[in-house]
Structure 1
Amino acid sequence: MPAIGGVLVRVLVTGFEPFGGDTVNESWQATTALATDWRAARDGAELVVAPLPVTFSAGPAELLRLLGRHSPDVVVATGLAGGTEAVRLERVAVNVADARIPDNAGAQPVDEAVVGDGPAAYFSTLPLKAAWSAVRSDGVPATVSNTAGTYVCNATFYALQHALAGRPAVRSGFVHVPRAAQLDVASSARALRAVVLTTAAAVRGELSEPRLAAGAEH
């Protein structure tokens, strides 16, 4: 498989532990399902997966620790989005934590900055439109979303983009998957696979990103 300097593209994918009284979190289920079917030689990338705690402090901190340990070329953080039937490729992370419910450590920040001196927002550096097209071509419903919320998912997404702001060669972003009652975990895993492979192709310089409209009128 094509690779950077003869080395496979290094990919990190994370999911979250259960929260809010749930016993499972579909983002981690989909991530582990992705890993089960992954073959580095076949897919042209080395994959590392890891769970993150659902807390405003430890979630971002653990992801940053993983960045330092694995030095990935691609990072796809994933989380659970209730009330949707489609995989959501998040476009933007905002610098605000405003929690409707406490996190797993009991913290419930209201109108607080994720990073005190950080900019208002960061954009994903994943090839969103190409990944969106690839996911839908695989038969999985998907949208490009313009809000990742204001809970731990957004805080982790923002911290990730803040940490990588000076490293444009690393492509990174966030994907929300639905509950299994709305979309089976196997389909969510296929969507993550499409996102990862598309992004790895972009890192290798093999991808021409399409100009596709995916905006919303509301």
Structure 2
Amino acid sequence: MTTTRVLVTGFEPFAGATSNPSGDLARLVARHSATYEELGIDVRGVVLPVTFAGAAAALERAVAEHSPDVVVALGLAEGRDAITPERVAINLDDARIPDNDGAQPIDVAIEMGGPAARFTGLPVKTMVAAIREAGVPASVSLSAGSFVCNHVAYVLGGIAERHPGLRAGFVHVPATPDLVPPGASTPTLRLDELERGIRVAIITAATTTHDARAAEGSIH
């Protein structure tokens, strides 16, 4: 059986938080080796820094080290109520808050002369359907924001362009309950729910090369 190598990345905590579910997930999902081995999938997890300067470099090193066939990059989107595979990343850093190095680029191109946007190489609609089937809320997102998550998603698209055959994309996850103050109305999902959904997303991304034709767009 041919093995499909999958690299999963997440982020360290930022903005004063003590945890980041995307980084926790990158560590957790790589532990289910038996589940993946049955399907011919080898999963490796890496945690990236929440810095504009460091995240892309760490991502490049991880791809060089693990030589993946598929990359599923994860990030935190507080306020969302579902796992949201991103369809597009834009060539723009516009940071509302500083990164973990204190950098706060405003209206800066990620790649001078690069395309205005890069689209995902993952079957995001099929992934969403599979995550929902597993009992976890999911939807396609058309905006990865303009912070370090979008930066990594855009850079990842460029890496995929330079590595023919590499399929890669970004997925945002909601906050976990530990990140939300008592009484706050911010939606959350438990880490075990997120883990179940992301494991399904990984398997779907590794075993599916063509996306479903389904209505998952946005009116606004």
CA spacing shift, 1:183–1:199, aligned 2, 3 Å: same
C-alpha root-mean-square deviation of aligned residues, in Å?
Answer: 1.2
Instruction: Give the letter aligned to residue 25 of structure 2.
Output: A
Match of 2:38 among 16, 19, 42: 42
Match of 1:33 in 2: 28
Kindly indicate whether residue 202 of structure 2 is the aligned counterpart of residue 196 of structure 1. Answer: yes
Q: Which stretch of the first structure deviates more once superposed, 178-187 or 145-154?
A: 178-187
Instruction: Give the letter aligned to residue 120 of structure 2.
Output: S
Kindly indicate whether residue 133 of structure 2 is the aligned counterpart of residue 127 of structure 1. Answer: no
Could you tell me how far apart the structure 1 residues matched to 2:212 and 2:9 are? 26
Instruction: Give the letter aligned to residue 152 of structure 2.
Output: T
Q: Which stretch of the first structure deviates more once superposed, 49-58 or 192-201?
A: 192-201
Kindly indicate whether residue 95 of structure 2 is the aligned counterpart of residue 95 of structure 1. Answer: no
Query: Aligned to 2:6, what secondary structure does the other structure show?
Result: strand
C-alpha distance after superposition, 1:110-136 (max 9, x if no partner): 000111121100000101111111001
Equivalent pairs counted in the alignment come to 209
Could you tell me how far apart the structure 2 residues matched to 1:155 and 1:209 are? 24
Kindly indicate whether residue 189 of structure 2 is the aligned counterpart of residue 183 of structure 1. Answer: yes
Instruction: Give the drift of 1:45.
Output: 0.6
Match of 1:64 in 2: 60
Could you tell me how far apart the structure 2 residues matched to 1:201 and 1:189 are? 18
Could you tell me how far apart the structure 1 residues matched to 2:2 and 2:144 are? 33
Query: Aligned to 1:36, what secondary structure does the other structure show?
Result: coil
**TM-score when normalising by structure 2:** 0.91
Match of 2:146 among 147, 150, 156: 150
Match of 2:185 in 1: none
Match of 1:140 in 2: 136
Instruction: Give the drift of 1:192.
Output: 1.2
Percent identity, aligned pairs only, is 45
Q: Which 4+ residue blocks in structure 1 deviate beyond 4 angstroms?
A: none
**TM-score when normalising by structure 1:** 0.92
Runs of 5+ consecutive residues of structure 2 not aligned to the other structure:
178-187
Query: Aligned to 1:21, what secondary structure does the other structure show?
Result: coil
Match of 2:181 in 1: none
Instruction: Give the letter aligned to residue 17 of structure 1.
Output: E
